[in-house]
Structure 1
Amino acid sequence: MKHHTLPVSPSTVHWGYFSKAVQPALTLKSGDRATIETLTHHAYDDYDRMIAGDPGAEAVFKWTREEKGIVRRGSGPTTGPFERGSGEGIGVHIMTGPVAIENAEPGDILEVRVLDVRPRPSCSACYAGRCFGSNAAANWGFHYHDLIEEPKPREVVTIFELDTAGEPYAKAVYNYVWVPQTDPDGIVHPTIDYPGVPVDHRLIRKRENIMANVRVPARLHFGTMGLAPSEADFVSSIPPSYTGGNIDDWRIGKGARMYYPVAVDGAFFSVGDPHAAQGDSELGGTAIETSLTGDFEFILHKKNDLGGTPLEGLTHPLLETGDVWSVYGFTFPNYLAELGDNAQTEVAGHASLDKAMRDAFRKMRRFLMTVHKLSEDEAISLMSVGVDFGVTQVVDANWGVHGSIRKNVFRCD
């Protein structure tokens, strides 16, 4: 076993997409471990707290009229004309990777063990050693067209500080209503419509002393993690699919084991969208978006060795923790294959919790019948009395429902 380190830099991250066509930032063998740094794409919501003085973050977020640290942001074309900024595409998350796994082939399963997760502290002289994150109640949030206070509509950014001295929690520092921001290329952004737009704090009005009596329990996890799909060279980081991606489940933190079906040679694992805390549904559009570093272990399960194991026939992401197994249902189990050439632009128009619940039910039924050898009638009964189905997220175009069953259900006295 070897231990690798993958820091963030313009050469080790790709912004807004999964890809089988990008040169791997790291190649390792089954059984190897890696310490991987990740950055939140919302760090520019407060430059002083989340970027300033941090060489890796400054290089990735660099954007002047003369130079842009990362040009391609999303899965769209690299040439214009552009409406929202140079290199615009579909997808928003800063992804570290890809990490290629030697000997990984389609049909295999890659197990990713999250050994540890820790926040990336501020390097700013004013805030050194402290940890911050941003929550944007944004235009893609479930709430956006159902507001009751004026002005309507509005997007609101809340900056949180993460306290890790004891049992970790996050506390709000201040918030502000998004006002039009002009990026270094001269393009005006009336809404949060392009990732990494510098926010000019001279234009905003900070509202302090908010949520004074609220402490949010920390749930450090990675919202977007998975493998490159086979259907296209560049695939938006926003909708989750059969190889993982933007699942946005707070349970994918320290101690979690994720199993992903390999779709391309090398698997091409990427991780990003780090979160300090999130509730089921991620209702407003984001979690507390922060920057995290994770320790990972990678185990490759070859397709010829899957028979008789819980991974036999697995065609979708699967979570294992010390206590539960979880499956993930989506509006479309594989939207890229189901919606055709325009899938990445059209999937959001079809979002449905009904379909996601149906998919989660079918995946859990298969899990109980295949792994635990229950009949269909036994599986359905157990699902009704012993499986917890919940709304994972309603903001990622391909909406999600998770189904979780506790391992102790199967223990016999």
Structure 2
Amino acid sequence: MPHSAAPSVAAAHGTSYAHGTSYAPDPGDLPVDGRHQLRTTVDTARWGELPNASSAPVLTVDDGDTVTLDLVSHEGILPDQGRDPVAFFADHGVPERHVLADARDIAASDLARDTADRLGPHIVTGPVAVRGARPGDLLRVDTLSLYRRTHYGIVSNRHGRGALPGELPDDSAELTDPDTRRTPTGTVTAFCTVERQPDGAEFGLLRYGPTAKARFPLDPFVGIMGVASADEAPVHSVPPGRHGGNLDVKHLACGSSLYLPVQVDGAGFHAGDPHFAQGNGEVALTALEAPLRATVRLSLVRGDTARRVTGLLGEPFAETRTHWIAIGLDADLNEAMSQCVRSALAFLTARTGMDRATAYAYLSAATDFEVSQVVDSVKGVHAMIRKSDFPGVL
């Protein structure tokens, strides 16, 4: 299954502002690489929940169409941050004109205002219906391009969340680093800016002293990509599942493909939770959360081809140019690991013809199993299966 070429992450060049970095002064200058464009508005977004069987599409496209989505980050607009992104980011030196209009509009709207206590934090765009999609199909989501919409982002840690709930955040600890702040509710947020090198390489900068900065590479991806659940009840945005959703697999960057089992007619594709960077585990609770312009191709995979992609388990599955990626999900991390091994075995036996015992031996000898995240109530593990280990297998 060859991939078409995908551009690297990019951003418009602008002038300097806080901490000697630059920003994208007008996101409208970013390329629209898709046949269709879907902006995130009060009418096209949902806050904290995912599409279900009764969700009406906000856009309908053909099999194989490309869609450019302007995705909004929830960080900076959440109630524990004041639900006022202009004021929140002003505290970090960001002028009002550099706070995205769609984020401001959503924060000022009634979206999720009455039900925020029972919903997740994410701003989710969609659903997009794909003509002809039926249960039993796979929706293939190719990420073609990603562009930063800002030159800053946020990493947050909230009470009862993260890998160390009850230990961090620590309300008694003094925060001495200049861009790490505590909100009135105790949420700790770390503000990061972006440094762009002359060769195009981009890094996140996190200050931890008057002059010291941690500098880490950016590798943007979309944390939530999914299909509508067959459930009629509201679908919380936090736990991932068979529908995909909040997978937080950092390898789903430009050039990747995600395969999702279609559960309702039209598929109901949706996306949100854009990230500039994430470490496996996402231990504090969030990645470097920041808005992206993402272009994806939505294609249907059916019949024997679908079975060769994922085996028979019907779980989300992914691939990059170099790896096949099996995914395991469960509230228990040990069981998520077991599920990931089962998914990897199902894939290898269906795709390569290996028997299960030989595939098990191969996985033990040659495949890295990585913890995607431990913070989304349903935890994730993914297996990185090298394509180069199987010459002649497509």
State the TM bucket, normalised to the shorter chain. 0.7 to 0.9
Q: Distance in 2 between matches of 1:3 and 1:242?
A: 28
Asked whether 1:94 is paired with 2:116, we answer no
Q: Distance in 2 between matches of 1:368 and 1:309?
A: 9
Q: Distance in 2 between matches of 1:288 and 1:307?
A: 34
- Residue 143 of structure 2 aligns to a residue whose secondary structure is strand
Which residue identity is paired with 1:47?
F
Q: How does 1:377-392 map to 2 (within 5 A)?
A: 377-392=357-372
Q: Who is 1:313 aligned against? A: 312
Q: Who is 1:297 aligned against? A: 297
Note closer, same or farther for the CA distance 1:316–1:209 as it changes in structure 2 (3 Å cut): farther
- Residue 118 of structure 2 aligns to a residue whose secondary structure is coil
Q: Who is 1:184 aligned against? A: none
Whether the 8 Å CA contact 1:72–1:88 is kept in 2: the answer is no
Q: Who is 2:35 aligned against? A: 3
Q: Distance in 1 between matches of 2:158 and 2:192?
A: 16
Whether the 8 Å CA contact 1:50–1:133 is kept in 2: the answer is no
Q: Which moved further from structure 2: 151-160 or 395-404?
A: 151-160
Q: Who is 1:57 aligned against? A: 103
Structure 1 position 120, deviation (Å): 0.5
Q: Who is 1:30 aligned against? A: 63
Asked whether 1:323 is paired with 2:347, we answer no
Structure 1 position 47, deviation (Å): 3.5
- Residue 365 of structure 2 aligns to a residue whose secondary structure is helix
Q: Who is 1:353 aligned against? A: 333
Q: Who is 1:282 aligned against? A: 282
- Residue 141 of structure 2 aligns to a residue whose secondary structure is strand
Whether the 8 Å CA contact 1:219–1:253 is kept in 2: the answer is yes
Asked whether 1:398 is paired with 2:381, we answer no
Structure 1 position 141, deviation (Å): 0.8
Which residue identity is paired with 1:226?
G
Whether the 8 Å CA contact 2:312–2:346 is kept in 1: the answer is no
Q: Distance in 2 between matches of 1:50 and 1:36?
A: 25
Structure 1 position 22, deviation (Å): 2.6
What's the CA shift string for 1:199-246, capped at 9, x where partnerless? Answer: xxxxxxxxx637x24101101011111111112342011000011011
Which residue identity is paired with 1:99?
V
User: What is the TM-score when the length of structure 2 is the normalising length?
Assistant: 0.79
Q: Who is 1:169 aligned against? A: 203
What's the CA shift string for 1:333-384, capped at 9, x where partnerless? Answer: xxxxxxxxxxxxxxxxxx3211111111111111111111111210111010
Give every structure 1 segment of 4 or more consecutive aligned residues whose post-TM-superposition deviation is greater than 6 Å. Answer: none
Q: Which runs of 5+ in 2 are unaligned?
A: 1-32, 82-87, 174-184
Q: How does 1:106-125 map to 2 (within 5 A)?
A: 106-121=135-150
Q: Distance in 2 between matches of 1:248 and 1:408?
A: 25
Which residue identity is paired with 1:133?
G
Whether the 8 Å CA contact 2:49–2:236 is kept in 1: the answer is yes
Which residue identity is paired with 1:359?
Q
Q: Distance in 2 between matches of 1:389 and 1:55?
A: 40
Q: Distance in 2 between matches of 1:366 and 1:57?
A: 42
Q: Distance in 2 between matches of 1:161 and 1:91?
A: 26
Whether the 8 Å CA contact 2:322–2:387 is kept in 1: the answer is yes
Note closer, same or farther for the CA distance 1:255–1:141 as it changes in structure 2 (3 Å cut): same
- Residue 374 of structure 1 aligns to a residue whose secondary structure is coil
- Residue 162 of structure 2 aligns to a residue whose secondary structure is coil
What's the CA shift string for 1:54-73, capped at 9, x where partnerless? Answer: 322221111xxxxxx14326
- Residue 139 of structure 2 aligns to a residue whose secondary structure is strand
Note closer, same or farther for the CA distance 1:257–1:86 as it changes in structure 2 (3 Å cut): closer
Structure 1 position 87, deviation (Å): 4.7
Q: Who is 2:347 aligned against? A: 367
- Residue 318 of structure 2 aligns to a residue whose secondary structure is strand
Q: Who is 1:136 aligned against? A: 156
Q: Which runs of 5+ in 1 are unaligned?
A: 63-68, 74-84, 122-130, 175-207, 332-350
What's the CA shift string for 1:274-302, capped at 9, x where partnerless? Answer: 01111000001000110011011111123
Asked whether 1:146 is paired with 2:146, we answer no
Q: How does 1:65-76 map to 2 (within 5 A)?
A: 69-72=109-112
Q: Which moved further from structure 2: 13-22 or 45-54?
A: 45-54
Structure 1 position 314, deviation (Å): 5.1
Note closer, same or farther for the CA distance 1:309–1:162 as it changes in structure 2 (3 Å cut): same
Note closer, same or farther for the CA distance 1:106–1:70 as it changes in structure 2 (3 Å cut): farther
Whether the 8 Å CA contact 1:14–1:95 is kept in 2: the answer is yes
Q: Distance in 1 between matches of 2:220 and 2:140?
A: 20
